[in-house]
């Protein structure tokens, strides 16, 4: 089974530049960032509701630091939690500021398609990624590239595989290990760490 491409920083910057040129820049940027900064799958991004990411109390709106996904929103058919980084929380906050109408319906879709007021399907998210990668001239990438890049980046930063497994929401550590990209450069860098 061929794995989705892991993007390097240059490719991710190129992808985000292409996103800036799209008609729905803020929405498309958030779709990409949910994949690359939280490791969400296309089906999970498509199912996000406003209430999943926002907490509203006494007219105070806050972006949650943890997203609790219900079983119908996930691949595995079980409730799961997604830890949200400070960077992603800021991006969600900016998106909400530019789209205040979303606050009127907390049960509504966070990310809406241009054709309807309804949310995306998993296939539509996959198609969006395919289009963005094509425009950015990034080959062999798919909607799963962000998730794979997220997991690989955590590994490269020295995060233990057990912690990555929890963040990736995998039931098996073996699955998590298959996601981690290993290249010749990474092997060389690892060997260079050993000295006499």
Mean of pLDDT values over 159-180: 85
The pLDDT, as a whole number, for residue 127 is 95
The pLDDT, as a whole number, for residue 124 is 92
The pLDDT, as a whole number, for residue 72 is 80
Name the phi and psi angles at 169, rounded to 5.
65, 40
How long is the chain?
Answer: 196
Cα-trace Rg, the chain: 17
The pLDDT, as a whole number, for residue 68 is 93
- 3-class DSSP string for 104-143: HCCCCECCECCCCCCECCHHHHHHHHHHHHHHCCCCCCCC
The pLDDT, as a whole number, for residue 115 is 63
Quickly state the pLDDT bin for 49 (edges 50, 70, 90).
Answer: very high
Residue of higher predicted confidence among 112 and 24: 24
- C-alpha angle 86/101/53, rounded to 5°? 30
* CA nearest neighbour of 159 among 169, 148, 151: 151
């Amino acid at each position: 089974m061929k794995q989705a491409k892991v993007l390097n920083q240059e490719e991710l910057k190129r992808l985000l530049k292409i996103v800036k040129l799209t008609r729905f820049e803020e929405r498309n940027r958030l779709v990409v960032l949910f994949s690359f900064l939280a490791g969400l799958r296309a089906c999970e991004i498509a199912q996000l509701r406003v209430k999943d990411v926002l907490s509203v109390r006494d007219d105070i709106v806050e972006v949650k630091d943890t997203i609790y996904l219900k079983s119908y929103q996930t691949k595995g058919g079980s409730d799961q939690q997604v830890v949200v980084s400070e960077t992603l929380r800021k991006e969600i906050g900016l998106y909400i500021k530019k789209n205040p109408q979303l606050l009127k319906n907390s049960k509504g879709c966070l990310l809406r398609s241009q054709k309807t007021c309804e949310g995306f399907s998993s296939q539509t998210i996959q198609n969006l990624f395919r289009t963005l990668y094509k425009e950015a001239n990034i080959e062999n990438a798919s909607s799963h590239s962000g998730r794979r890049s997220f997991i690989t980046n955590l590994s490269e930063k020295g995060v233990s595989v057990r912690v990555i497994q929890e963040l990736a929401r995998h039931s098996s550590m073996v699955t998590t290990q298959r996601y981690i990209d290993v290249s010749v450069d990474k092997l060389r860098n690892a060997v260079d760490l050993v000295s006499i």
